[in-house]
Structure 1
Amino acid sequence: MRRLTLLAALALIAGCTRAGPDYHPPVAGPANDPAATGKFLSAQDKAFADEPLPDRWWRLYADPRLDALVEQALAANTDLRAADANLRRAEAVVRQTEASRQLTTDLSGGTTLSRPSGTGTTLPGTLGYNLGISVGYPLDVRGKIARAIEASLADRDAVAAARDAVRISVAAATARAYADVCAANFRLAATQRIVALQRQTFGATQRLQRAGRGTAFDVTRAQAAVQTSEANLPIFAAQRRAGLYTLAALLGRPAADYPRDVESCAALPALPRPMPVGDGAALLRRRPDIRQAERTIAGDTARIGVATADLYPQINLAGSAGLSGLVDRAGGPTSFGFSLGPLISWSFPNRPAVRARIEAAGAQVDADIARFDSTVLSALRDTETALETYARDRDQAEALRQARDSAATAADQAGRLFRFGRSDFLALLQAQSSLAQAEASYATAEAKLPDDQIAIFLALGGGWE
């Protein structure tokens, strides 16, 4: 009775006392700085709105074709499939670790044949048997198994965060590849307009030469202007094809199976209203890399407890029962035996090694906290930089639009003056050259804006639920 009372007390203690420190999220660091959790410094521009960022941010473009592409990529992307497999593996590790505190059983049995030495080989031997069952249950008095389960759960959460990071990267890469195709077509169309204008001038110089009002030099210069602009057309065609091939890879397809309906995209993705960006607190909650870094701290903190538990005895409650004897006397009263009691294991002489493992685990947590702080700072820096870049690129695009409009007016005026004989051909070519440069610069600036927007969405950590 006294022995059973002792075992009951040990079972009550099991799992109630855990070695090592309990995990608490970092409180000292940039994540809790008011400057990190407030409004973004670079979000004061009219291009932004202090509103929550939706999970499926690509729907803000109101483009059904883009929506379909992103959803297809999230369903078929190979990187995301690998991330899903990593998460399933982490979940299996959790189940394996949890199983280590379950009741374990072991069945054994066998037969033996023995002969006394010196007897003939023709004499029969003695046939014996043994059957047994053993049962064990870890009491986990110092919580080593519980800490190991904590660590595996935190590791699982970190892998889930890594999977979410892949998801937002796939969504952003798909939207960016789609925007690249549209931007290539947009710049291609702008260049074709310039070529068409220059061809008109080229044709006019040919007619003037035939009428005796122009020179061969004028014709050659006009032709050179056309050829210079036309030389840019293959570049944009190659950029369009590269974007299509990138889309195919993101969708899990061979390059030759790129989405044909995207090839004709000519309008740049545009937001109909200011971008919702939220604030720093929402960013820190949303970014998967921050959550992954935080969960890594939690897992490694639990591993301090796993190492610390080795300073104390490990106790298992074990029992066994068995039958053994001669086959012809099976079941006799002397062939049965059993045992019940705690089994204690303790690596007492090797405590310096255990303390070294504890110190190493603590140092790992310190490194994790430093990486967590670095991840927070990088997230804030990337977001502020992306916001500022987009705001200033919008200003530049607007200025270039005005310059393009002025250059178009100047080119039109130069054309009329040349036709009426009030200006020479060189002035017309210079005006059209300025228009070509202004048109190209404006098209490049406009094409960059969707890329800037996607960079903001990526920095904000949007794209997962």
Structure 2
Amino acid sequence: MTRNLKIMGLSGMLLLSTALAACTVGPDYTAPKAEMVPFHNTIGAPAPLARPTPPLDRWWTGFDDPMLAEVVQRALNQNLTLDAAIARVTQARAAAASADAQLLPTADINATATYEHQSLRSAVGSVSSGSPGFRRDGHELAVGPSASWELDLFGGLRREATAAGEEVQAADAEQAGTRVTVAADTADAYLQVRAYQARLAVAANQIATDEHLLDLVRNRQASGAATDREIAQAEALLKQARATVPQLRFGLEQQLNRLDVLMGAQPGTYAHDLAVARAIPAIPALPGDQRPVEVLRRRPDVIAAERHLASSNERIGAAISDYYPKISLSGALGVDSVSTNHLFTSSAFQALGGGALRWRLFDFGKVDAEVALAKGANAEALAVYRQAVLRAAQDVEDLLAALATTQDHVTELQGEVAALIRARDLAQQAYQAGSITLTDVLDADRQLLTAQDELDVNRAGVARAAVGVFRALGGGWDPQGRVEDHDHSPSMAP
């Protein structure tokens, strides 16, 4: 008999749940489709010395630079902006847990003890004081549980719970987007540090060359083959080369400070780790078969925008549910007695049960306004999502183009620098032989300095553009965290 009652109870609960689910009001969510043609900028064949394609979620390891890998990992472990994003995920999960709890009954345990010294002048005291056995002092004890439950007949609470769960997924994606940005910004700062160090090395070499040229002019002056004007010109060239050093050192200091802040440390903390100059790392091979749909599935900003859109759709249903009645049940059990001797006896037992109906029939358009507000928020979220899709495509196209053009520019600059080195050396030999003026030597030297500096800037530019491509492709986000996977939250790769 007991077993049959349990089966009947479970069946009743199942039927009730099915009935409630069937009454859910509001539009069901359908993920928007982003129809996009293939990218018109593509990644060309990697250079012969380029490294293999790294895993997209750990792309920084592909540069084969242990120090770069170390600073990126340190930033991912210590960055304060990333800590704040992780804290926002925790808040979103707590909000979702609270919304889920609204679907379930609330049970409380209550205990009260009261003491009263009755006034003889009050309405009760003036009447009761003449009764036999009247006592001015009295106390009452009550103990027992109580419960309440709002029946979600039209799905408003379920819509809110679903919306909160989708906000958790959006917060997860935004946290992943912060992770991608932190890794890319750290790599960018590191590459600029190496670029400034390389440019300072070029400036040092140029200063040494100009000092040698000044010595050469002074020797020629001593032999009567050079004038004071040529000495002044050579000194000016040397000072010009030296004048570039302070500005380069300032730029280097800025990027070192930027790195420290990205790693969650006070500027100057880790500068000594990068004191030894190293070459700008060669870029790894980039994944060349990326389709727009794959990028959209991986881009954290697109995923977050889509999850916000889904959440706003659920809130339309939550607002619509206010058109319908709200029913809640409540009950309490317990014991109530004026003395502790009889508190836990059958005669002190009491029970209370009840129900309540609330229906907003006349609210002067308040529900209409709330539904319109929810629909407006949904329309805004849809526009934000579509804009995120377009910006993602723009990022990829821009950075692929930047990488290709910068690589081409580096190739041209390498040839230019080689030619200018030959021209400068020949000019110095010709000047030493007396066949040309010092002005020709100074022009060749100045052109070489400019070209060498520009070459190092663009070598770093290639590496920075490669970092940008990895970021634009969604590097750092687990490819399994797709827009279509609504049954679970996207997760970060380890």
TM-score for the superposition, normalised by structure 2: 0.85
- Are the counterparts in 1 of residues 43 and 288 from structure 2 also a CA contact under 8 Å? no
Which amino acid in the other structure matches residue 24 of structure 2? R
- Are the counterparts in 2 of residues 10 and 139 from structure 1 also a CA contact under 8 Å? no
2:392 matched to 1:379? yes
* Aligned residue number for residue 76 of structure 1: 78
Shift in Å, 1:318: 2.7
- Are the counterparts in 1 of residues 220 and 226 from structure 2 also a CA contact under 8 Å? yes
Deviations 1:92-114 (A, max 9, x none): 11111111122212333333546
Which amino acid in the other structure matches residue 402 of structure 2? T
Q: How many residues were matched structurally?
A: 454
Of 459, 464, 469, 1:451 maps to: 464
2:356 matched to 1:366? no
* Aligned residue number for residue 117 of structure 1: 125
Q: Following superposition of structure 1 onto structure 2, how do residues 5-404 of structure 1 map, counting pairs within 5 Å?
A: 13-27=19-33, 31-33=34-36, 35=37, 38=38, 40-47=39-46, 54-108=56-110, 109-111=112-114, 113=116, 115=118, 117-118=125-126, 119=129, 124-274=136-286, 276=288, 278-324=290-336, 326-327=338-339, 336-340=349-353, 342-350=355-363, 352-404=365-417
* Aligned residue number for residue 430 of structure 1: 443
SS class of match (2:290): coil
CA distance in structure 2 between the aligned counterparts of 1:70 and 1:331, rounded to whole angstroms: 66
Alpha carbons of structure 1 residues 333 and 406: separation in structure 2 relative to 1, 3 Å: closer
State the identity as a percent.
28
- Are the counterparts in 2 of residues 17 and 141 from structure 1 also a CA contact under 8 Å? yes
SS class of match (1:136): strand
Shift in Å, 1:52: 8.7
Which amino acid in the other structure matches residue 352 of structure 1? G
Shift in Å, 1:225: 0.8
Shift in Å, 1:392: 0.9
- Are the counterparts in 2 of residues 186 and 447 from structure 1 also a CA contact under 8 Å? no
SS class of match (1:257): coil
- Are the counterparts in 1 of residues 54 and 284 from structure 2 also a CA contact under 8 Å? no
Shift in Å, 1:373: 0.4
CA distance in structure 2 between the aligned counterparts of 1:277 and 1:182, rounded to whole angstroms: 30
CA distance in structure 1 between the aligned counterparts of 2:451 and 2:125, rounded to whole angstroms: 108
- Are the counterparts in 2 of residues 110 and 129 from structure 1 also a CA contact under 8 Å? yes
Which amino acid in the other structure matches residue 83 of structure 1? A
Shift in Å, 1:16: 4.1
- Unaligned residue ranges in structure 2 (runs of 5+): 1-8, 119-123, 478-492
CA distance in structure 1 between the aligned counterparts of 2:430 and 2:347, rounded to whole angstroms: 125
Shift in Å, 1:215: 1.2
Shift in Å, 1:47: 4.6
More displaced 10-residue stretch of structure 1: 435-444 or 301-310: 435-444
- Are the counterparts in 1 of residues 53 and 285 from structure 2 also a CA contact under 8 Å? no
2:431 matched to 1:418? yes
- Are the counterparts in 2 of residues 47 and 275 from structure 1 also a CA contact under 8 Å? no
CA distance in structure 1 between the aligned counterparts of 2:344 and 2:219, rounded to whole angstroms: 121
Shift in Å, 1:376: 0.5
Shift in Å, 1:209: 0.6
SS class of match (2:464): helix
Which amino acid in the other structure matches residue 27 of structure 2? P
TM-score for the superposition, normalised by structure 1: 0.90
- Are the counterparts in 1 of residues 417 and 451 from structure 2 also a CA contact under 8 Å? yes
CA distance in structure 1 between the aligned counterparts of 2:418 and 2:76, rounded to whole angstroms: 41
CA distance in structure 2 between the aligned counterparts of 1:131 and 1:180, rounded to whole angstroms: 71
Alpha carbons of structure 1 residues 419 and 149: separation in structure 2 relative to 1, 3 Å: same
CA distance in structure 1 between the aligned counterparts of 2:289 and 2:46, rounded to whole angstroms: 10
